[in-house]
Each structure stands twice: as C-alpha cells, then as structure tokens.
Structure 1
C-alpha cells in the first residue's frame, strides 16, 4: 500500500481531471464508499453527517445522499454558509440543499438544538488532511462535544484536527473509531500521534489510475510481506551450513554479553548457517555456557578481531559494546571489511560527538538501527527539521549512505535512494529489554544469506512484529525465538518452493 502526501493526492485528482474524469465523479465515488462502509459497520442507528466547506464536505454531502437512499435516519449539518461553497462541493450540496442545517445546532439547548445520543454514527467530513491550523470557534466546540459523547465516529480522509503530512494533531482533534481514505495512505494514518486517533483505517478505490501515482510519488509504502517475501532465501537439497552464510556477532565485555547472545540466536533462527560470537577472553565462558549451536571465538585486540571477522558473511556490532574509544576503533575496523553489517546501540552512540566520521566509514551494505534517542544523537536536528518521521529517516539514509531503521511503534526503514517502508505491524509488548538486539541479529542473519539490506531490514522488522503479536502479554525478548520457526515455515510454504529432502517419498512394492 502506497503512502502519499496531501499535495500528491491533489495532483492525482488534477491529472485524472485532465484525462477526462470529472472531480464530481471522484467525489461521488468517495461519498458512496463512505456510505457503504457506514452501512456495513453500523447498519442501525441515527447517522449525523458533519460537513465542512471543502472537498471533504463534498464527500459528506454525497454520503448523506446515498445513506438517505438506503433508508437511514440521517441528519445533515454544515460548518459555514451554503453560499460560500464552490465547484464540485457546491454541486454536491445542491442535491441535498433543503436538508442542510447549521452545525451550531449541535451546541444549542432546547427545541432548536440537536443532541447526540449513544449509538449515533457521526460522519466527520469537516476538515481533511490539508488542515494546517488549530481548531477554533464552533468547530472546536463541536469536536469536544463529539469526543465527550458516546457516538460512533467515522472520519473522511483524516479526523478533523489532524495534519495529513506531519502525523501531528491539535489536542482537540476528533477521535475516530474508523477513517476512510481513498486510493492510498497518508502519513497521518500510520505515524504517531495522529495514527492513534484514526481508528481502523479503510482505503477505498475511487477510480484513480495506479500509473498516475507511479508518475508523481516516491517509493514509500506500508511494510507488508508482498514487498519483501519474494526476496527471502531458503535452503534446498544441496544446501549445507556454509552455503547459508556465516554470521559474526561481536559481544560486549564479560557481564554484558546478553545482548550479543540474543542477536546471535536470532540470526541463527533466520537461517544463517554458522553463527559465531566474538568476545574478549574474559567473556567467553559466560557465552559458551549458554549457547549450544552458536560458536565462540576469543580475540585479544582490534587487529585480531579484524582478521577473524574477515571470514564472516555478515556482522552485528553495538549491543552492549560500551561507549568507549575502543568501540570506535572496532567500528572503524569492521567497516573497512566492506561486508554486510548491522550497527546498533553503542556502535552509534559512540559517534555522537563526530557523526560525520561515522558517515565517512559507512557503506551501502550497512544497516543502522537507532531508536529515536540514538537517532537524534547522530542526526541532530534532522527530526526537528523534517515534516515527519518518514522524511527524517529518508534524509538520514541519504546522509549515511546506507539503510536506516528508525525504530518505534511506527518503524521507518529507509534506503539512500529515497525508498522507504513504514512498519506498524507489531505490539507494544516489544517495549522490553533486548528486543532491539533480536532485531539486529535477524537483519544480519538474512544478509548473511545474501538478502539485500533493504529487504533484510524490511522483512526482519515485520517478522519481529509478527512474533510479538504471537507472544502477546508477558513477552520477553528470549520468547521471540520460539515463535520464529512457525512463522518462517508459513512463508516458506507460501513461497511455492519444495524441499525434496522433506517431501520425497519412496514406494517399494513386493
């Protein structure tokens, strides 16, 4: 599913108009889809349609007309004056002109007033994604009234009070149970804090050609398996462990090896054929005591680590590494190898005072996986200067020259050329110690098998989230490993490949 900006949607509408499709036709399709969704979700109860003066209001007028034809008990209100409506909005309003009442009636007492009731369905068609100012006056009062009511709310495009491109919102924005948008997602539907008040988002087709979006939009998508599943690699009857890649994970000091052990086990679960934990001699006993299929190898200095790491297909470094000068030296040495590597946590923070030095070392086979705090340390002010988190991650990837995974409830995976995927698949139970270390190991595990950095990162972030949904409440990072085989088996079976060592049957007749 593509993610677009407000202006790109305006441009798509214009291009369709140039090709002969009228704005009124698009508005009719949008309003009809809204009406059908309301009928599907809430087939009974009064329906209150609140329209604004723009195209969102036009969609609302159309939805009113269709729901009236369906026999619903329906009521129509306008924020503003009918004589100020223009173009297609004016045309849509003219068809229901006699039914339009001023929105101020929702705020009145007595016989002139209209009171919301429990079970009502409110269609919020006041302001759309193009809003760029705070709510005020009677619109502010109406928003507060709706939020304090027990009515069900569906918003058209985005809830009134939400800014479509930034994912920000005013404090009194209408809180929707559902949102219907058209053709593609907008930033506000998936980036916090706005995403939390959109409710269930429904994307409806209204007749805009996909080729139009291909012409005007960047490659920014919701992170879903249809993007990356075809890039995953699987063993066949000729595979052996060395063909499946060698993953090396560099551990922290003795007493701080848990993060590296989590990463190593996760990489092994993703299919890396041989996984080795590198550590200083004092750390080896505690690692060896807790790992069976993962090997350990000691090194005495950075030069020896460099020599040992040359044998690896991919690397992980940073979790619990320590924010020290030695960590800086290790990062510099490992990046000189030019092999795929995931840098996380301390391997990023250690460059807080001189991020440009790190950027000079990074290469296209790298993936860096900062959370917001780490991101701001090495990309100071980028978030503040960017319109939204997606653009911040894209700017950072271009600056770093590698894939950036900006972690959070709305993780953004961005590549240097501008491609980006946004992941909202997962649960809040991932907010637990070690979950980021697991993710780092997963990404490098796929890269060890030859999967490209963007696809490895996109797949790992989604699979990480899927495991968290499988685990649910009480999840700890070690639990994630137990859910991966079942999840990966599903993807393997859906890939259409067959492993003949599993499936070959021999029949012997007497």
Structure 2
C-alpha cells in the first residue's frame, strides 16, 4: 500500500528542492504562491469572520510572498488589512517582490495601510495576526525586532495563523530559535516538515492544515527521505495473520525478567502487556526471593525461577524462548550485565535498569548485537539516552531524529527515543515520529507496558524496527482508549489487536 502524501515529511531543504524542480519542470512558481496565499486568506476568513483587522507580518522570502498574496485576497474580500514587513521592500526578490508589487497596486483603492515596518506594529484588540515572516526555513535565532513582536502578540492574547510553520521554529528539529509564535492554526503546503511533529514545534503549530497547491505528487515523493510519521502503513505488512492451525509457540514465547520481591510490579505490567499484545506464551523469570510475590498475582502468565546466569543458560536450551524484556524494575545492574552475553542471539528489549546497566560500558552492549539482523530494541527516555549516547545527547546541532538514527546505527538496534514526540529509528536510516499518543501516557509504569508490547511483537516474528514502531503506536492508541484517568495497570486492558489499527 502506498504511503499517503500527508504522511511524508520533507525537510526545509527538501521542500526547497521541490520548489526548484517544480519551476524547472515548467510550473509557474508565482501561480503556486498565489494558490498558497489565497488558501491562507480563505482559512483566515473561515476561522475568524469577526476579525476587526487582519495583520499580516511578512518576511523577506517566499513565506512573506505568501503573506502579500493573502493580504491582497483579504483586502479584495472587503476585510481591513495591515501589512508589516521585516526589512526593506526594495530588497525583495523574485516571486516575493512580485507579490509585494501586486499588493501595493491593489491597496490604494481600499482603506488599507501600505506596507509598514515590522517594528511599527502595535497589537490592537480585534486583530488576527497572520505570521508570514520566516516559516520553516529559519536556521538562526529570530532577530530582536521579531522577538519583541512575538512577545507583544502573546501578551495581547491575539490569535495567530502561521504560514508553513510558526516563525521561530526550526523546520528540521522543532526547536525554538530564540522566540516563536504560538499559533492557533498553521497552514502548510503539500506535506509537512519534521518540525511540525517534533516538540516544541508541534506545540507551537496549533491545528495544522495541509493544502495541495498543485505541485505534482511525483516531485514531492522524489524529494521525501526515510523519515515519516509513525502509523499502520509503516508496519501493516509485517503484522501477519495467524492461520487456523497455529499454536502458542508459533505466536512466540516472551520472557520478562523480574526484579526482587519489592519491585516485581514493573515486570508483571510488561508481561501482561505482552500477553494482551499477542504473544503465545509469557513467562516471568524471577529470582527465588521474588517467586511468591509474583505467584500471588499471576494466572495466565507463567513463572520460572531464574536465579543467575547459570540458570538462565539452562533455560535458554529451549530455543522456543525467543524474545526477552530486561530492565523494568530489575534493579540488579551487575546481573543484567551477566545476562547480556547469553541473550545476544535472541530478541531483546532493553529498558530502564537494563539500559542503565551499560552506562559505563555501552560498547559492550553494542558489540554483543553488532552482527546479523537487528535483534535489539532500546527504549530510552531523555536521561537514559544520555547515559548510552552522551555525545549525541549533548550535540545541539542534531535534531531528535538525527540523534535517534545515529544511535541506532551505533548500537545496531532499533531505538525508541521516548518523549511526547517519540522517535523510532533503525540502523538503516529509517525513522518515524510518533504523534499518536495522549499526554496522559506520561505516568509511572507506562514505559513498562510499552516494553512488553515491543517484546510481544518480536516474539511473533516482526522485524525490530516495525515491532518498535507498531508498539509505540499501539501503546498510544491504548492510551487514547483508556482516557485521562488511566494508570499503567489499566492501560494493558485497552490494547487492541493490530488488525484494528
């Protein structure tokens, strides 16, 4: 199944290449600008029909050109419009200069202001601000003059409609470059940028609308890279349908390692999530001291005494034990390091304490899984990521996607870089940004549930990247179904079959 255009993500550089390719193929670039600007004007009138004045803040590039077109269309509709430009109108070039000239030509016949300096804008009650300053192409901090306007607009509580991406947001990383508009709504064209999905860009974008302005789909697809939004089309071909003759071992045997007697809950949540996610068998492997605490809470999940590496080696003689989760509530970092070499030929989800166990010797972990197909899935949050990949974490020149991809290559693992904008990455450079998750998933034990879902997918034979991406989406979906009052214990009961994704 072909990925819809709306799921593709184009970097600002790739979008520039799309614009260039469109012009070279004979498409009228100014015609595209006119369609873009008019779509912005239509949205402004649709969502703010009672505006006393539309204030269009324009930048020196094509984003500003879209703004001039929008201003003219709004004026032609009878609205009161004020245009403010950052920089000198005489320095405008190409389509932006033409759009400005058309705006000036239309202005004298209507009671509208001509183009004024950006610094002259003073917010007024009843204003609706159309942000056409920089869009997604900014890669440096906004100038002080714009930062002051952003602050004034925010303090006045005025609605902002941004063209492409709120000015001040990095289109690649979603980072705030000094200051950024908080848009009520953003209008972008053809498809989205990573900065629309990555935080804090996503929070600044508001409601996002994607408008088709007529660029041929083939040109957009040719420029798209390996980064997409996470969704069922990324992994639906890998889910597999269980045939009528299947048995429990064909659906995989997932083993979750338990911590000591006082920290068994995390492992049980992972195990229960694995069971609800389709694993044929789920076993908790626990030290003797934790057997009674686990046994008191288990029914369909099996229990096995695994006290040390020697006992684990004996258990692993059964090759049907094909997928493991190590880390939730585990506690014993030394034992985690002892277990690693024994698990290197199996599918392993390393979470929480399992990650922390290798903070001083990450290369030991990476070397263990360096050969063959990807069998390791790492699920770090921000702090855990910094423990395994301190140099990548500290590199502010890299986006979260860049960091995740480089980490995946280094570790030869699928990476689930958790957060409100979870990124899933593979060693081959593929990556997905997940937006399908509610904020109330940020609760104790939620990550343990996610680890169990990943483990179940690996047990059933899904490749590591697809298993991770599907688990993140399914985890978020369960969160939506559970609602704001969810707890990790109740979350597992809202995991629905992948066939319903």
For normalisation by structure 2, the TM-score amounts to 0.91
Q: Are residues 1:326 and 2:335 paired?
A: yes
Alpha-carbon distance in structure 2 between the residues aligned to 1:243 and 1:39: 58
Alpha-carbon distance in structure 2 between the residues aligned to 1:47 and 1:382: 43
Query: Which of 347, 350, 357 in structure 2 is aligned with 1:340?
Result: 347
* 1:283 positional shift: 1.3
* 1:416 positional shift: 0.3
Alpha-carbon distance in structure 2 between the residues aligned to 1:19 and 1:290: 66
> How big is each residue's C-alpha offset from its partner over 1:345-384, in whole Å with a ceiling of 9 and x where there is no partner?
1111111111111110125121111111111111112033
Structure 2 gap ranges (5+): 1-6, 108-112
> How big is each residue's C-alpha offset from its partner over 1:377-419, in whole Å with a ceiling of 9 and x where there is no partner?
1111203325210000000001111211000000000000000
Alpha-carbon distance in structure 1 between the residues aligned to 2:40 and 2:147: 24
Whether the aligned pair in 1 keeps the contact of 2:86 and 2:118 (CA below 8 Å) is: no
The equivalent residue for 1:30 is: 36
Q: Are residues 1:178 and 2:185 paired?
A: yes
> How big is each residue's C-alpha offset from its partner over 1:65-118, in whole Å with a ceiling of 9 and x where there is no partner?
22333333333332233222111101111111153634448747xxxxx65223
- Runs (4+) off by over 6 Å: none
SS for the counterpart of 1:404 is strand
Cα distance change, pair 104–17 in 1 and its aligned pair in 2 (3 A): closer
> How big is each residue's C-alpha offset from its partner over 1:475-498, in whole Å with a ceiling of 9 and x where there is no partner?
2101111211xx32xx5357xxxx
Alignment of 1:114-193 (within 5 A): 115-118=123-126, 120-193=127-200
SS for the counterpart of 2:138 is coil
Alpha-carbon distance in structure 2 between the residues aligned to 1:287 and 1:234: 32
Q: Are residues 1:21 and 2:24 paired?
A: no
Whether the aligned pair in 2 keeps the contact of 1:79 and 1:102 (CA below 8 Å) is: no
Query: Which of 251, 264, 272 in structure 1 is aligned with 2:271?
Result: 264
Whether the aligned pair in 2 keeps the contact of 1:306 and 1:334 (CA below 8 Å) is: no
The equivalent residue for 2:104 is: 97
SS for the counterpart of 2:135 is coil
Whether the aligned pair in 2 keeps the contact of 1:277 and 1:296 (CA below 8 Å) is: yes
Alpha-carbon distance in structure 2 between the residues aligned to 1:433 and 1:101: 56
The equivalent residue for 2:3 is: none
Q: How many residues matched?
A: 482
SS for the counterpart of 1:44 is coil
CA RMSD in angstroms, aligned pairs only? 2.0
SS for the counterpart of 2:209 is strand
* 1:340 positional shift: 1.8
Whether the aligned pair in 2 keeps the contact of 1:80 and 1:102 (CA below 8 Å) is: no
SS for the counterpart of 1:147 is helix
The equivalent residue for 2:452 is: 441
SS for the counterpart of 1:124 is strand
Query: Which of 239, 245, 251 in structure 1 is aligned with 2:246?
Result: 239
SS for the counterpart of 1:244 is coil
Query: Which of 375, 381, 402 in structure 2 is aligned with 1:365?
Result: 375
* 1:445 positional shift: 0.6
* 1:137 positional shift: 4.6
Query: Which of 217, 220, 226 in structure 2 is aligned with 1:219?
Result: 226
Alpha-carbon distance in structure 1 between the residues aligned to 2:493 and 2:218: 42
* 1:166 positional shift: 2.6
Query: Which of 372, 379, 388 in structure 1 is aligned with 2:389?
Result: 379
* 1:343 positional shift: 0.9
Query: Which of 34, 45, 58 in structure 2 is aligned with 1:39?
Result: 45
Whether the aligned pair in 2 keeps the contact of 1:107 and 1:142 (CA below 8 Å) is: no
